[in-house]
Structure 1
Amino acid sequence: MNTLQLLFNAVTVIFIAATMFAAGLGATLPALRVVFSNVPLLLLVLLANLVVIPLLGWGVATLFGLPAAAFIALLLIASSPGGPFGAKLGMVQNGDVVAGAAMQVLLAAIGSITFGPTVNVILKAANVGGGVSLDVATLMLTVAVLQLVPFVVGLVVRHYAPSTALSWHPVAATVSNVTFLVVLAGMLVGNWRDVVALIGSRSLLAGCVFAVIAFALGTALATGPFERRTTMGGVAAVRNAGPALAAVGLAFGNDPAILGALAAVLLSGLAAAVPIAAVLSRGRRHHDMKLSTPPSE
């Protein structure tokens, strides 16, 4: 393994751990209890993110007839809930930020356990890539250690030393954001031939379509006011790159074609989800301005 590959793997580990550590520092037990106590919302969001969205990824990949690498990349992304950018989309759209952040953390924690079995079942059913299957036990252990342990540590710090957690949270969030950009850039630069080959292909379009439909399904499969439901839509649309990257490393030997397709799917998904959140935000600001404007005499 060359030096650049070792560096990429190290930055990926830092990104995954920092993201979950920041999530733990930003979470509170009362906020998590609110999520757990809203049983209808909880069940619908779990159904959407753990069952419906992975099946959607399989359906979109099949519908667009994606090549093996892009097919696998889309399945990996679709099966990995709880992406940190989901909570940020709640901020962008002026939605229910507290519920969005709490649900994102919950999905990331549960997804670290369900990701391996979900991908394994769908890969076998789809018979893609020559019938490749994942070592579920190893993947579950790797993802759980990289995600659950940092999250629990952050949550403990937040519970017992809230002032320390609040001071550490911006640093951890910055590390998460910067390393995410580095990982994404590394995927694009290191596999640029595979990424360029996807330009004009159906893979980028499939990523956009997947994100838009996931946003709609996440909104539909939620309860409460519209702001909360669209926030759940954003959480559903933006998936967690950490387990997907771990799977590519463990099961596919960091295959350049899959990494390139993964980067393309992630970028196209963000490109589709962010404008939706921006439109929702604009509409809500306009509505709030109308409410705050006093009636004319």
Structure 2
Amino acid sequence: MDSALLTVGLPVALAVIMFGLGLSLTPADFRRVGQTPRAVATALACQLLVLPLVALGLVELFGLPPLLAVGFMILAASPGGTTANLYSHLFRGDVALNITLTAINSVIAVVSLPLVTNWAIGHFVDEGDRIGLQLDKLLQVFAIVLVPVAIGMAVRHRSPAFADRMDRPVRTASAVLLLLVVLGAMWGEKDDIADYFAQVGLVAALFCVLSLTIGYAVPRRLGLSRPQAVASGFEIGIHNSTLAIAMAITVLDNAQMSIPAAVYGVLMFPIAAVFGLLIRNRRAPVADHPSEATQGSRLPG
């Protein structure tokens, strides 16, 4: 996969997306963990512990080829995407919690993503074909995840008004670039794309539904408010598929590993929209938590 769209466009797309995330973050978003520790801990436990196990169960159940199986594990270990904030806002979730979870997940991913990826490669790929994550590749993960975020946060700190003005253009650019990256990843494998959809389409759809459901149902079962559960559901169900694609193509130099994330990137938006409509139409008390009426109103920027 040597097209300029991916070799050049993919790092640029990811940098723009992560820079846009940084523009929406302030140090307060990290400090807010202390205000809702149970909600943050529950969502992180689902994201970091439950989802990889769900992904492992699905790829084993459907008997996916090794490289596609590794790709699914990379996807499962990827943090939530910034689009989760928009979905959470549309369906009355706690957007401030989304922002906090995205911020923390992006930092944790620097460690968790390489760990899960290395484990998956060791588990699924034959000894002679293994592609390990060496120190230089770990530094690449750090650079592509955190450096653009840090730059975006620095811009917001120095000029909040500029960051606010740039929020919509950067979001639009991120959406367009994400679409181009997904299409580019699929085009690079166009000769086999029908087979890949046949192999991973159902698994990707099931994984998306399970991610959204787990992210919503577990917090509700543990007594968290509905806006917090909505935020958690979208944060866990809407993955940063661009990061997963970049991990496969840029860091591991393997196109097949990017296919699950590319397919998921196409399917997750309509599935998340249907999921949002379903949970919105469920009958629920007007406020099942004393502070619920005041949650869910903050959009990034």
Q: TM-score, normalised by structure 2?
A: 0.84
Instruction: Give 1:36-185 correspondences, 5 Å limit.
Output: 36-127=34-125, 132-185=130-183
CA–CA separation in structure 1 for the residues paired with 2:54 and 2:128? 21
Q: Is the Cα–Cα contact under 8 Å of residues 75 and 260 in structure 2 kept in the other structure?
A: no
Instruction: Give 1:264-279 correspondences, 5 Å limit.
Output: 264-279=263-278
The more displaced of 158-167 and 272-281 is 272-281
Q: SS of the residue aligned with 1:224?
A: coil
Give the superposition deviation at 1:179: 0.6
> Deviations for 1:38-70, whole angstroms, at most 9, x for unmatched residues?
222222222211121112111111111112332
CA–CA separation in structure 1 for the residues paired with 2:35 and 2:101? 12
CA–CA separation in structure 2 for the residues paired with 1:214 and 1:129? 31
CA–CA separation in structure 2 for the residues paired with 1:55 and 1:184? 25
> Deviations for 1:174-214, whole angstroms, at most 9, x for unmatched residues?
22111101111112223222221134x34211111111111
Q: Corresponding residue for 1:230?
A: 230
Mark the CA change 1:213 to 1:130 in structure 2 (over 3 Å): closer, same or farther. Answer: farther
Q: Corresponding residue for 2:31?
A: 33
Give the superposition deviation at 1:162: 1.0
CA–CA separation in structure 2 for the residues paired with 1:146 and 1:252? 14
Q: Structure 2 counterpart of 1:193, which letter?
A: D
Q: Is the Cα–Cα contact under 8 Å of residues 40 and 97 in structure 2 kept in the other structure?
A: no
Mark the CA change 1:251 to 1:159 in structure 2 (over 3 Å): closer, same or farther. Answer: closer
Identity, in percent, stands at: 23
Q: Corresponding residue for 1:291?
A: none
CA–CA separation in structure 2 for the residues paired with 1:65 and 1:140? 29
Q: Structure 1 counterpart of 2:57, which letter?
A: G
The CA RMSD over aligned residues, in Å, is: 2.6
Mark the CA change 1:49 to 1:137 in structure 2 (over 3 Å): closer, same or farther. Answer: farther
Question: Unaligned 5+ residue runs, structure 1?
Answer: 289-297
Q: Structure 2 counterpart of 1:231, which letter?
A: A
Q: Structure 2 counterpart of 1:165, which letter?
A: A
Q: Corresponding residue for 2:292?
A: none
Q: Corresponding residue for 1:244?
A: 244
Mark the CA change 1:177 to 1:36 in structure 2 (over 3 Å): closer, same or farther. Answer: farther
